[in-house]
């Protein structure tokens, strides 16, 4: 039985994941967290499972913590997980480069699965985009990334769009900070050959759409993934938690978990 804790359990992802953990016979949910100020600390999430403000307060030490919150909450969690020697599954997005380095450092001491998107479809999209970028490099194709998410999303562009941009830059042999263009306005001039546009829209209840365009004069290739339910991410996180529970320290992605 794997002991699991879920952070941000009042949130869209945290709530769904904690519910799936409760239904899974391989897991025991030992506690969930929320912000100290929410007024739920000490109250029951479900029968026998309480809200805590830290994983350190839980009556049983979790083997794995699943985290879909905010960067500031994840950074605090890194310290606590290091102290308790607990594995982590991090789905949170919106980290700065420095914050990502902190995750890498912590993974020298504990096993961490870190991925901006836990769905199989998006992880295949990552592979496809790498292949197509390599194949079209230096052949005059413009590459642009579009993403759409629900009106409640806090970070932009999405973590997935940023990962797509990194994959494209890696496969072009370029530094992303030198080629990324985040939106356009005014007399910006003609498009430069190596620009990679990253554009974010926010509307309604869109779960998560990502398209990468490869366009040249006379044709356009579009690779699109549309998530229609958050279960696709939540189920990916559950698979990752089972996978990482007995791994040695290291930084892993969903490629490792899914074996793709």
Ligand X SMILES: O=C(O)C1=N[C@H](C(=O)O)C[C@H](O)C1
Ligand Y SMILES: NC(=O)C1=CN([C@@H]2O[C@H](COP(=O)(O)OP(=O)(O)OC[C@H]3O[C@@H](n4cnc5c(N)ncnc54)[C@H](OP(=O)(O)O)[C@@H]3O)[C@@H](O)[C@H]2O)C=CC1
Angle at 214 between CA 213 and CA 220, to 5 degrees: 90
Active-site position among 153, 174, 242, 247: 153
CA–CA gap between residue 129 and residue 165 (Å, rounded): 10
Instruction: Name the minimum Å distance from CB 24 to ligand Y.
Output: 18
Which of 149, 164, 168, 257 forms a contact with ligand X (CB under 6 A)?
149
34 binds, among ligand Y, ligand X, none (CB under 5 to 8 A by kind): ligand Y
159 assigned ligand-binding residue: yes
Nearest to residue 254, comparing CAs of 72, 148, 68, 127?
127
From residue 16 to residue 45, what is the string marking binding to ligand Y with x (rule CB under 6 A)?
-----------------xxx--x-------
Based on the residue annotation, tell me whether 153 is a catalytic residue of this protein: yes
Contact flag: residue 251 with ligand Y (CB under 6 A): no
Q: Measured from the CB atom, is 69 or 106 closer to ligand X?
A: 69
1 assigned ligand-binding residue: no
Q: Measured from the CB atom, is 52 or 68 closer to ligand X?
A: 68
Helices (H), the chain: 12-23, 71-84, 97-106, 120-136, 159-172, 176-179, 231-244, 254-258
Cβ burial, residue 242 (10 Å; 0-12/13-18/19+) = middle
**The tokens of 147 are what?**
């993403």
CA–CA gap between residue 214 and residue 41 (Å, rounded): 49
Assess contact for 78 and 71: CB atoms under 8 A: no
Based on the residue annotation, tell me whether 149 is a catalytic residue of this protein: yes
Interface residues toward ligand Y, by CB under 6 A:
7-8, 10-14, 33-35, 38, 68-70, 73, 91-94, 115-118, 155, 159, 233
Site residues for ligand X per CB under 6 A? 93, 116-117, 149, 153, 158-160, 208
Active site residues: 149, 153
């Amino acid at each position: 039985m794997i002991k699991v804790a879920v952070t941000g359990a009042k949130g869209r992802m945290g709530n769904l994941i904690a519910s799936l953990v409760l239904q899974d016979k391989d897991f025991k949910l030992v506690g969930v967290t929320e912000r100290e100020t929410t007024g739920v600390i000490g109250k029951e999430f479900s029968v026998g499972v309480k809200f805590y403000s830290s994983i350190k307060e839980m009556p049983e030490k979790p083997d794995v913590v699943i985290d879909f919150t905010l960067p500031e909450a994840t950074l605090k969690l890194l310290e606590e997980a290091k102290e308790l020697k607990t594995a982590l599954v991090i789905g949170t997005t919106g980290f700065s480069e420095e914050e990502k380095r902190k995750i890498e450092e912590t993974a020298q001491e504990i096993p961490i699965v870190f991925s901006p998107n836990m769905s199989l479809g998006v992880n295949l999209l990552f592979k496809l985009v790498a292949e197509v970028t390599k194949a079209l490099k230096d052949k005059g194709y413009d590459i642009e990334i579009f993403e759409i998410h629900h009106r409640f999303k806090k970070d932009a562009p999405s973590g997935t769009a940023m990962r797509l941009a990194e994959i494209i830059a890696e496969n072009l042999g370029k530094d992303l900070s030198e080629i990324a263009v985040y939106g356009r306005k005014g007399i910006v001039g003609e498009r430069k050959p190596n620009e990679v546009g990253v554009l974010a829209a926010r509307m309604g209840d869109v779960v998560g759409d990502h398209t990468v365009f490869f366009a040249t004069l006379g044709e356009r290739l579009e690779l699109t993934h549309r998530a229609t339910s958050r279960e696709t991410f939540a189920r990916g996180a559950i698979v990752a938690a089972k996978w990482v529970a007995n791994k040695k320290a290291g930084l892993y992605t969903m490629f490792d978990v899914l074996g793709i």
